[in-house]
Structure 1
Amino acid sequence: MAEHNSGPAEVGAPMDYPAHEQTYSMFLAAAKFGTLFLVALLLGMTAGFFAGAGLLGGIVVMLIVFIAGLVLLR
């Protein structure tokens, strides 16, 4: 019969914790700024389509919201 190993192949292998922490902080930053961009995009689309601002007005609203979010999230 075949052996079924349930554990990792290298038990006790040293972990690279600084690399894990760096990857996690990069993931958090990407999630934070990606969410900010999507919220700004949706608000710009709302202003452009429903508030009558048009394409350029929607772009202006999106840029204002995005820049304000960048300042607030620093």
Structure 2
Amino acid sequence: MDNHQSGPMETGAPMDYREHEKTYEGFLAAAKWGTMSTVVLMIAMAAGFFGGAGLLGGLIVFIILNIAGVFLLR
């Protein structure tokens, strides 16, 4: 007796592809902007702590690089 199924088995509600694409685009955007912010923060911390720029210098580097990143990643 053969008890296996030959085709795909559909369970649950049908897939909402529009919502899936929307979620995927949101994830990609969050990954892109999160990565940019983390890299900018690390550069600003390095400038502030090791480059002798201090707190205000690091903050200025952080702000300038964030503005540049927004324009470059659009």
Whether the TM-score (by the shorter chain) exceeds 0.5 is: yes
**1:58 aligned counterpart, secondary structure:** helix
**TM-score, with length taken from structure 2:** 0.83
Is there any run of 5+ residues in structure 2 with no aligned partner, and where?
1-7
- Residues 35-58 of structure 1 show CA distances to partners (whole Å, capped at 9, x for unaligned) of 010011001000001110000100
**Is residue 33 from structure 1 mapped to residue 33 from structure 2 by the alignment?**
yes
| Counterpart-to-counterpart distance in 2, 1:43 and 1:8 | 51
Number of residue equivalences: 67
Distance in 2 of aligned mates of 1:33 and 1:25:
12
Q: Which runs of 5+ in 1 are unaligned?
A: 1-6
Give the ranges of 4+ consecutive aligned residues of structure 1 lying more than 4 Å apart after TM superposition: none
CA RMSD between the two structures: 1.7
Distance 1:23 1:37 in 2: 21
Residue identity (%): 58
Counterpart position of 2:63: 63
Q: Distance in 2 between matches of 1:71 and 1:9?
A: 45
Residue in 2 that maps onto 1:3: none
| Equivalent AA in structure 2 for residue 20 of structure 1 | H
